[in-house]
Structure 1
């Protein structure tokens, strides 16, 4: 009887100790804005660089960095893509991390053009485009604003971190996006198989 009580007490203490450890363990600090509740990204279909339909859900199982931009962009887009390429290389070019750029200029960005653009930064990057309606659906899934103006397109310039289950977890803006800090954020996540 005593050994049962001792075993029960030991079990309760072990559970209490683990709960205390979890409560007191430092939570990861992100340089971006972490969503308090992960938001599932609704599925949508765009066109990849080979001209084939690509469902967003086809990327499940990988950690994603999703950026909305366009190939004629004179400043923000190439700078952002360069930062993503530097961070990707700093992480050792992991196969379970995918960088995806979605065009906000479907009139100009053909599948071939956007794929050529993104692979200019890294050969594993994926570019997607589509009809204006499909782009609008994709942009709304990430709360991205864009509007054509003369030869330019005004657009939200955030990087969206999506977990392997297809949930939006962290949003980076220009102010908190640097290759080193992005790599620092991603390294422990990738080491845990995309778990936060």
Structure 2
């Protein structure tokens, strides 16, 4: 292959490669180690909460009314922790949980369990802020409350649920978990991730409703390998959360080169074919 051909191929690969990548990827610098939670320690603390009875804390609902956690006993309870200043992951997980709650209500009925989302970033996660958050994401289910704990209660409450979080310059890095609490107020299962599949909660919910003891959850080591837990991949250079596109970039780069090479070879073949067909002077 000629030098000029290689230059053309490189130019084609770069041009096509850039056009195939999302703008968010192009704007990123090479990834750097991100501050945040220790994943193994976060999962271990979360799993250690399984079997623990939650204390009878008093929080405020969206209308600034006091609500005791003991008032939810008698039915299974789903508990998530959020902060209203999050504009990416917390809204995504809340909407995913809403879809799951809809599916669970279709299976078990509207009044068989309750849901609460707790704003842990105090005093910013006030009753008014949580009310606006719920309205923005169209969460208006009779069995779903958004609760604001007093600042002195936050540390004990999050510790009891095994919920770990850490402040960053742009918000919080925190565990993505939904806790399943039984009718006696005990944490019986932790479900992780930014998507909350209905089947992950449906089977244990069914067992709770009919009084069957829950089977052991996934071993801790398997959870560490299988689940992306943290709210963020925080980029301190940009002050934003981002997705780690490293593997996708490598795959896209290889695919781009193969496509560029194939197109270059096709173009060369067409050029030579036209040259052979061109009439020769007499």
TM-score, scaled to structure 2? 0.51
Given candidates 61, 68, 74, the residue that maps to 1:48 is 61
Q: Does 1:137 align with 2:137?
A: no
Q: What does residue 127 of structure 1 align with?
A: 146
**Structure 2, unaligned runs of 5 or more:** 1-45, 215-282
Q: What does residue 113 of structure 2 align with?
A: 97
Q: Deviations over 1:49-69 (max 9, x none)?
A: 121221111111121110111
Given candidates 97, 112, 120, the residue that maps to 1:84 is 97
Paired residue total: 163
The structure whose residues are more often strand, as a share, is 1
What is the alpha-carbon distance in structure 1 between the residues aligned to residue 134 and residue 211 of structure 2? 25
Q: What does residue 183 of structure 2 align with?
A: 164
Contact 2:76 2:114 in 1 (8 A): yes
Q: Which one has a bigger Cα radius of gyration?
A: 2
Contact 1:88 1:183 in 2 (8 A): no
How far residue 167 of structure 1 moved from its aligned partner, in angstroms, is: 0.7
What is the alpha-carbon distance in structure 2 between the residues aligned to residue 185 and residue 162 of structure 1? 10
3-state SS of the aligned residue for 2:130? helix
Structure 1 residues 135 and 46: CA distance shift in structure 2, 3 A: same
Contact 1:101 1:126 in 2 (8 A): yes
Q: Deviations over 1:85-114 (max 9, x none)?
A: 111111225212111111111222211221
3-state SS of the aligned residue for 1:38? coil
What is the alpha-carbon distance in structure 2 between the residues aligned to residue 36 and residue 101 of structure 1? 18
Q: What does residue 147 of structure 1 align with?
A: 166
Q: What does residue 131 of structure 2 align with?
A: 115
**Structure 1, unaligned runs of 5 or more:** 1-32
What is the alpha-carbon distance in structure 2 between the residues aligned to residue 173 and residue 165 of structure 1? 22
Contact 1:64 1:98 in 2 (8 A): yes
RMSD: 2.7
How far residue 136 of structure 1 moved from its aligned partner, in angstroms, is: 1.7
Contact 1:85 1:121 in 2 (8 A): yes
Given candidates 86, 89, 113, the residue that maps to 1:73 is 86
TM-score, scaled to structure 1? 0.71
Contact 1:44 1:137 in 2 (8 A): no
What is the alpha-carbon distance in structure 2 between the residues aligned to residue 121 and residue 54 of structure 1? 19
Contact 1:101 1:118 in 2 (8 A): no
Q: What does residue 16 of structure 2 align with?
A: none
